[in-house]
Amino acid sequence: MSDSSSATVDLRDVDGVLLDLDGVLTPTAELHMRAWQAVFDEVFAAWDIAPAYTDADYFAYVDGKKRYDGVASLLRSRNVELPWGQVDDPPSADTICGIGNRKNDAFATALRRDGIAPYPGSLALLEVLRAAGVPMAVVSSSKNAEEVLAAAGIRDFFPVVVDGVVAEREGLASKPAPDVFRVGAERLGVDPASSVAVEDATSGVASAAAAGYGVVIGVDRGAGSDALRAHGATIVVDDLARLVP
């Protein structure tokens, strides 16, 4: 366990638990990382952008954000500015949206080819919380959330899903803004101050902290315990199995 204080937290006693998807419930973060790497390697090579794209860039500029915001943030880190474009731009378009759509095609292809399963520890925690009657929601920046939840066989745990599709439709700001976690609590009918948010991205823990969650659990899948704490995590664990009573 990354933090012994997590042993004192019993999630069966809170108003609600709102969880990110990629990297928290399912290892889709790995698929996302590979898809981003392939796309940015191609873009950087074509435009002679340096330094090369790395996993550190993923955690710093892309992880947890809405797709197009991640593209813009990463390119801005290399002093590259592109037209935003339109959400229906073809993947070949040299726009923020085009590059984002290129990445989504790569991710969707991998998901359909390889499938996905939930982390065993995450599934165990979901079972415990459902048995205890604790309301749960998914709060994800991904537009693929519904497909991933269905593929992983865990959609039925969640009466509320606030994802990238909802965020775009309703004009909700990307994490680290508090919008999506605030709306998630409203739709679940719980008070953030009496609820728990679970995130693996620094932008996600910052979003939940800004939305006023009483406890923000960071799951360290690579972002680093110190970075998660610095952005608002009150507890850090390496797996949700640590939170199963």
Q: What is the DSSP string of 86-123?
A: -TT--TTSSSHHHHHHHHHHHHHHHHHHH-----HHHH
**SS3 assignment, position 33:** helix
As a whole number of angstroms, the distance between CA 125 and CA 230 comes to 26
Q: What is the DSSP string of 42-69?
A: HHHHHHT-SSPP-HHHIIIIITTS-HHH
**SS3 assignment, position 11:** helix
Q: Which tokens go with 38?
A: 């392939």
Q: Select which of 3, 13, 15, 22 is catalytic.
A: 22
Annotated catalytic, 22?
yes
Annotated catalytic, 200?
no
Q: Catalytic positions, please?
A: 20, 22
